[in-house]
Amino acid sequence: MTTETRPRRPSTLAPPSEAVPPPPPPPRKAEPRPFLLDFVPLEGESDTRLARFFQRLREGQLATTRCPRDGALLWPPRVVCPTCHTEELAWVDLPSRGRIYAFSAVLAGAPLGMEADVPFAVGLVDLEGVPLRLFGRIEGRPWNALAVGMEVRVEPYDVGDGRFFYRFRAPE
Ligand SMILES: [Zn+2]
């Protein structure tokens, strides 16, 4: 059985004062990104136990966790040490400089939200003074003007919907 009703025609007999105004349209919400295609994680305290990482990024500082028992510097930041399984991890700030270990260019098939940026560079960067090699976008010059060994800086960037992530910037 169908409960479909036909739209009512406006009555030409009723005086305007008795006409029922249509309900206001619901407030328009920002279009959420499809979760499985959104590589930028949720950052709030209620979303992740790594919210401090994103808070430090907003303050301009890349940070990660270190295990105080075995000294391991963990990347990406963790909530449990993969070696000794403690959850008592410490937050430490990371250097803001590094050197390009390898890079490539995204010429097509960019992730959601980056379609208009093509072409752009991505790469692996060895951070200065710590045994960490991070993956990320590299800004600052065209991809074909980058070089292995070039010094880059870590910088936070505003994703545009209240979230922050990090990128690398090569000298222009
Ligand atoms: Zn540990």
| Beta-carbon count within 10 A of 23 CB | 6
Q: Where in the sequence of the chain do the CATH 2.40.50 domains occur?
A: 95-172
CATH class for the region spanning 95-172 = mainly beta
Structure tokens at 166: 């990090």
User: How close is the Cα of 74 to the center of ligand 1, in Å?
Assistant: 9
pLDDT along the chain (172 residues), means of 10: 55 61 66 64 81 93 96 95 96 98 95 88 98 97 97 92 91 92
pLDDT in tens, 115-126: 899 999 999 999
Q: How far is the CA of 39 from the centre of ligand 1 (A)?
A: 27
For residue 133, report the distance from its CA to the centre of ligand 1, in Å.
20
Q: What is the pLDDT of residue 43?
A: 74
Q: Closest by alpha carbon to 52, among 83, 89, 82, 81?
A: 89
Kindly provide the b/e burial profile for residues 106-133, where b requires at least 16 CB atoms within 10 angstroms of the residue's own CB: beeeeeeeeeeeeebbbbbbbbeeeebe
